[in-house]
Structure 1
Amino acid sequence: MTIDKITRSQVYVLDQDEALDFYVGKLGMEVNTDQDLGFMRWLTVNVPGDPEREILLEKPGPPAMDPATAEQVRELLTKGALGGAIFLTTDDAHKTYEDLVAKGVDITDEPVDRPYGIDFGIRDPFGNRLRIGQMHPRP
């Protein structure tokens, strides 16, 4: 057996329409799948041109968890005590930073030049952390 790809990641969101506004409207991602499965809405986004790597924007609840657990997850998410982390790249960290500031995105760290590249932090409306980096070429 060989695992050869990461195809899907997941973050919890409290409102999937608000998540779409953020991930598509502000970050420029595109909707990959928006399907009502009856027991849940399967909503994924991806970076344009990379449909094989999706982010599932999942509301806490069935089928992954019972109602009591879902409520606990919603409370922790609202407090900022729970949240996933997503790492994205860009070809111009400073321009991307300026664009996101102009769109009112919650910035947690300004761009800093580090040994691996220039990166900065943002947070989605639900407390999930995102790092956006312009990577230096590898030797």
Structure 2
Amino acid sequence: MNAGIDVMGLYVHDQDEALAFYVERLGFQVSTDVRNGSFRWLTVQHPEQPDVQLGLFKPGPPMQDAATAEALQALVAKGAMPPLVMRVKDCHASCAAFRAAGVEITQDPVERFGSVDAGFRDPSGNGWKLIQIRA
């Protein structure tokens, strides 16, 4: 029987750059950072969600062959991967804090469907949505 989701993977082109972005700019914490030869298992966690890890993975062996890794890198760089969603208490305040930390906001907060949402991208091109659900 499944116990639940533990790690959700995200492809990045530079793990050190991604680590700095998620920790220094978004406030995540390092969960795991281990190496096995050229392979690095790197995960971070949101401080308010310790049971879920976000894997910052570089495409390539042993997970993919070189051609697949190159294709994945191109898709990530184009912003073609599905966005991740982060629920926030105050979308306007979160955008302001992220912008002050040097995060590129790609969509300012917009009110719609009983919520407020905004967008940003990480250094690899992965899209994120910030969602504030209105009571």
- Counterpart of 2:34, as a letter, is Q
Contact 1:73 1:82 in 2 (8 A): no
**TM-score, normalised to structure 2's length?**
0.89
Quote the residue 1:102 is aligned against: 100
Quote the residue 1:14 is aligned against: 13
Contact 2:15 2:58 in 1 (8 A): yes
Contact 1:34 1:44 in 2 (8 A): yes
Runs of 4+ deviating beyond 6 Å: none
Aligned residues: 135
Quote the residue 1:74 is aligned against: 73
Q: For residue 99 of structure 1, report the CA deviation from its aligned partner.
A: 1.0
Gaps of 5+ in 1: none
Aligned CA RMSD, in angstroms, stands at 1.7
Residues in 2 aligned to 1:49 and 1:81: alpha-carbon distance in whole angstroms: 27
Contact 1:61 1:70 in 2 (8 A): yes
- Counterpart of 1:115, as a letter, is F
- Counterpart of 2:121, as a letter, is R
Task: Indicate the percent of aligned positions where both proteins have the same amino acid.
Answer: 41
Quote the residue 1:61 is aligned against: 60
Is 1:117 aligned with 2:134?
A: no
Q: Measured at CA, do residues 102 and 49 of structure 1 come closer, stay the same or move farther in structure 2, by a change above 3 Å?
A: closer
Contact 1:83 1:126 in 2 (8 A): no
Contact 1:32 1:45 in 2 (8 A): yes
Contact 2:90 2:132 in 1 (8 A): yes
Q: Measured at CA, do residues 118 and 8 of structure 1 come closer, stay the same or move farther in structure 2, by a change above 3 Å?
A: same
Look up the SS of the partner of 2:102 in the other structure: coil
Gaps of 5+ in 2: none
Contact 2:79 2:126 in 1 (8 A): no
Q: For residue 81 of structure 1, report the CA deviation from its aligned partner.
A: 4.6
